[in-house]
Structure 1
Amino acid sequence: MSDTKKPAAREGSLDAPFRHPIEWRDEAYYDLAAVEAEMERQFDVCHTCRRCFNLCDSFPRLFDLIDESKTGELDSVPKSEYAKVDEACTLCDMCFLTKCPYVPPHEFDIDIPHLILRYRAAKRRAGEKSFVRDELGKTDRNGRLAKPLARIANWGTARKNTPIRKLLDAIAEIDAEAELPKYYGKTASDLLPTPVPPDPAGPAFGKRKVAIYSTCSVEYNGPDTGVAAARVLARQGIEAKVVYPECCGMPQLEGGDLAGVAGKAARVAAVFEPYIDQGYEVVALTASCGLMMKFEWPLILPENAAVAKLGAATRDICQY
């Protein structure tokens, strides 16, 4: 009899989780049949676990589809119904980051947000696009157009403006009861064309410099937030200046337009690289934008050194 002992089975999820690069430049990435087969595989794991039942509505929808099916198993759920799970996902990453015990390096290799992203990209490649969604996602263009007409734009989109809101609901499917963001005549960059002088009495005076990425939502829809952030940092003695090249591409990510996101990532990273080289840290004022810069962009452009550098230098304002 051999004295060789078999290695003990390892418990999953004891190693640090990681994510695979997003293979958006590979044509196989957009094979819808292959994507749906992978959705079936991962959804079946979710069905047997159900730990994410209390996160977004994607998981309750999936579990209801299974429980109400003929067999009570995923095999009797039509793949056309997967779209119902997709439409409830906001790509917030909470399931991957906080709940799932089966993310890589676990052998189950579960990553629902990036699976949904691939599904959207494949459907987009197959011609399933939303014109309204794509146009609303052009936040920089929309912000620039609304800027000189801010009062009129805000009047037209106000919830109390019932006739126009009902028209928007009918044409663009923007719910008439939804509270829409306001626009301003001056952006955060306009209000802070130069850095706020740092307070010499602040504990970080002479030690820290910050490039504030105002993000499109602050730049156009909440410029006072950018001013407040710069003033708070300056009070701590930190040299802080607003830098806003363009939107992070989250709207395009949500629509499955990965080439569009990659272009934005490369351009924004190129603008911030000289600041990082001069010792600036980058602070994002919107959490979803910080998520893009720190986690999504390096997976979309893993070979881009400037993107990697920016991801490592970025902090959310609440972290900083």
Structure 2
Amino acid sequence: MSPDPLSLISENKRTLDQEFARVADICNGCRRCFNLCPSFDQMFIRIDDRTGEADSLAKKDQDDITDLCYYCKLCYNHCPYTPPHHFNLDFPRLMLLGKAERAKTHRPTFRDRILVDTDWVGRWGRRLAPLLNWANSVRAVRLLIHRWFGIHKDRILPKIATETFTEWRAKNQPPQSAPATKKVALFHTCYVNYNAPDIGKASVQVLEKNDIEVITPPQRCCGMPYFDVGDIESAREKARFNIRSLEEVIQAGYDIVAPMPTCSLMLKKEYPALLGDEARTVSEHTFDLCEYLMRLNSEGKLNKEFKNPIGKISYQIPCHLRDQNIGYKSRDLMKLIPGTTIDVIEKCSAHDGTWGIKTEYFDESMKTAKPLFRAIEEGNPDMVATDCPLAGMQILQGTGKEPLHPIQIVKKAYGL
């Protein structure tokens, strides 16, 4: 049986309103997260505008604060009261539960239901890629989409690939050769498949450069987008499909690697929260792509025959990578390239994928990302990097600089 949604928050049996009041009171007394995201900003503003006490927050305040959370999870790692502290505070999961409880009585809008179904959007978008890419570039069309569908007219949207990553991979299988030293299954992710196949191609090329066999098992969206509308059951459905598929290849001796931090976070940490022991095997065998390559380096097996220096890189470390608590593996990997320096930027992009493109949150998204934009502009880099393509879209929106994934930079350094 699936865990009760309340177990995503804590083991106690408080109601949602009681848990929100408890957490708000603790956060009000601490305020360490005051500048992390719009949820905390609004919570403290509303408290201060009234009595100064958390019990002044009304139900509407609770709903508004929940809507402003885009599950970056920065606050969890910033918080001194997370488990095993007896306060047992988990603000992101509280926001997720709030969305799940509301979804029981208030069906998400058509726009929101479509946006989170990335598998469906990708399949149909692929068929209409030239038309949709053209439409996204036409101002009149964007104004209509803004008015009728609620996607902001100024938001840069990702292009849809005319050839998906899986289609490319089917045409580009490596020739038979001596047995590889290691084997990985690439959880390439729906975004890479439909929108950014170059990241998938670079992942395969770099892994094969290091004598690693790469397969791409059947997979669906990791399920994270469904958190935006509180659809926990759909997230579990996606998780179960992926777990069944990935467990088969794990039993055959493959590790799982993912180039997108949100997806590796889901496999590592969120699947166990959703499904308990059912997700343990996949969780224990999943690695972020650069984490895996640095593990190879620690074993003395990473190919370091880099041909091209890169120069100065401003590297934005994504929030969902920071939540994995694995250190700065992408930075460390790029630092191995001779003639390369890395400036790490620990600032949230506030894109989220669906939250930042909506008309009602676009301005808030851009405002929250200003420190990131400023750090990049002040750094004056030769190149910008981030592991998250959605953060990359936000960086392009705010600075005009188009980032690369670190694996694309490594591919460039190899001269592939």
For Structure 1 versus Structure 2, the TM-score category normalised by the shorter chain is 0.7 to 0.9
Match of 1:8 in 2: none
Identity of paired residues, percent? 34
Contact preservation (8 Å) 1:210, 1:280 = yes
**What is the count of residue pairs matched by the alignment?**
286
Query: Is 1:107 paired with 2:112?
Result: no
Match of 1:275 in 2: 249
Contact preservation (8 Å) 1:198, 1:238 = no
Query: Is 1:78 paired with 2:78?
Result: no
Amino acid at match of 1:223: P
Match of 1:144 in 2: 123
Q: What are the ranges of 5 or more consecutive residues in structure 2 without an aligned counterpart?
A: 293-416
Amino acid at match of 1:262: R
What is the TM-score when the length of structure 2 is the normalising length?
0.65
Quickly say closer, same or farther: Cα 1:237–1:197, change in 2 above 3 A.
farther
**Mapping 1:23-62, distance limit 5 Å:** 23-24=4-5, 34-62=15-43
Q: Select 1:117's aligned residue among 87, 96, 102.
A: 96
Match of 1:12 in 2: none
CA shift for structure 1 position 196: 3.7
Query: Is 1:310 paired with 2:289?
Result: no
Contact preservation (8 Å) 1:121, 1:256 = yes
| Worse-matched range after superposition: 257-266 or 85-94 | 85-94
Quickly say closer, same or farther: Cα 1:265–1:106, change in 2 above 3 A.
same
Q: What do the CA deviations read for 1:176-211 (whole angstroms, capped 9, x no partner)?
A: 0001111112111110126445997xxxx7331111
SS where residue 276 of structure 2 aligns?
coil
CA shift for structure 1 position 78: 1.5
Quickly say closer, same or farther: Cα 1:300–1:127, change in 2 above 3 A.
same
CA shift for structure 1 position 134: 0.8
Match of 1:245 in 2: 219
Match of 1:166 in 2: 143
Q: What do the CA deviations read for 1:205-228 (whole angstroms, capped 9, x no partner)?
A: 733111111101101000111011
Quickly say closer, same or farther: Cα 1:301–1:100, change in 2 above 3 A.
same
Q: What do the CA deviations read for 1:247-266 (whole angstroms, capped 9, x no partner)?
A: 11111122111111111111
In 2, Cα distance between the equivalents of 1:264 and 1:248?
Answer: 6
CA shift for structure 1 position 52: 1.0
In 1, Cα distance between the equivalents of 2:275 and 2:116?
Answer: 21
CA shift for structure 1 position 313: 0.9
Quickly say closer, same or farther: Cα 1:36–1:195, change in 2 above 3 A.
farther
Contact preservation (8 Å) 2:256, 2:285 = yes
Q: What do the CA deviations read for 1:148-180 (whole angstroms, capped 9, x no partner)?
A: 22111111122xx11111111111210000011
Match of 1:261 in 2: 235
Query: Is 1:211 paired with 2:185?
Result: yes
Match of 1:14 in 2: none
**Mapping 1:178-197, distance limit 5 Å:** 178-193=155-170, 195-196=173-174
Contact preservation (8 Å) 1:209, 1:239 = yes
CA shift for structure 1 position 245: 1.5
What is the TM-score when the length of structure 1 is the normalising length?
0.84
Contact preservation (8 Å) 2:63, 2:98 = no
CA shift for structure 1 position 105: 1.6
SS where residue 122 of structure 1 aligns?
helix
In 2, Cα distance between the equivalents of 1:295 and 1:107?
Answer: 21
Contact preservation (8 Å) 1:195, 1:242 = no
Match of 1:4 in 2: none
Quickly say closer, same or farther: Cα 1:43–1:197, change in 2 above 3 A.
farther
Provide the aligned C-alpha RMSD in A: 2.2
